[in-house]
Amino acid sequence: IVVHLHLNTDVLYRFYEGKPQQLHQEGDLRESAKQLQRALQIQPESVSGHLQLASLYQNLYWREHARVQYELVLRHLQPDNVQALLGLADYYAASRMPVPACGVASRAMEALQEAGALCG
């Protein structure tokens, strides 16, 4: 029964996850954000879902909401996620907070260097 429930949440997540992209293409960013929020209620550990939601929020000029998504990824899911670090650095720069922007951008560069060392 537990496996069946897990399968159902995966199916539901994929259903809701596909909706935002379709709605985004149609230009309905607010509805797209709502659908992605529903998907994240089903699967809150989805890093890509939180990053997509942050991107949607940025497109809607809801920067504070985007910041929350980036911080959620960094604090609870992937502390060295480069996309979240760069998004957070961008938020701080746009908010005219150069010190935190530089600190977060430095973390992103360190994460990229570590990834490069692993690849080469």
* Each residue's pLDDT expressed in tens, for the chain with a length of 120 residues: 334 344 344 544 555 555 555 555 546 788 888 888 998 999 999 999 999 999 999 999 999 999 999 999 999 999 999 999 999 999 999 999 999 999 999 999 999 888 877 676
40 lies in the same domain as 74: no
Nearest to 23 by CA among 53, 51, 63: 53
Q: Same domain for 40 and 67?
A: no
Residue among 51, 11, 59, 12 at smallest CA distance from 31 = 59
Task: Report if residue 32 sits inside a domain.
Answer: yes
The answer to whether residue 50 is domain-embedded is no
Answer yes or no: do 76 and 113 share one domain.
Answer: yes
pTM, whole model, 2 decimals? 0.74
* Same domain assignment for residues 73 and 101: yes
Residue numbers of the domain that contains 87? 63-120
- Asked whether residue 52 is domain-assigned, the answer is no
Please check whether residue 90 lies inside any domain of the structure.
yes
Residue 49 placed within a domain: no
Q: How many domains in the chain?
A: 2
Same domain, 32 and 72: no
| Per-residue tokens: 57 | 């929020």
| Residue 53, in any domain of the structure | no
Q: Where are the alpha helices (DSSP H) in the chain?
A: 2-25, 29-42, 47-59, 63-72, 82-94, 98-119
User: Which residues 6+ apart lie within 8 Å of 115 measured at CB?
Assistant: 82
Q: pLDDT at position 65, please?
A: 96
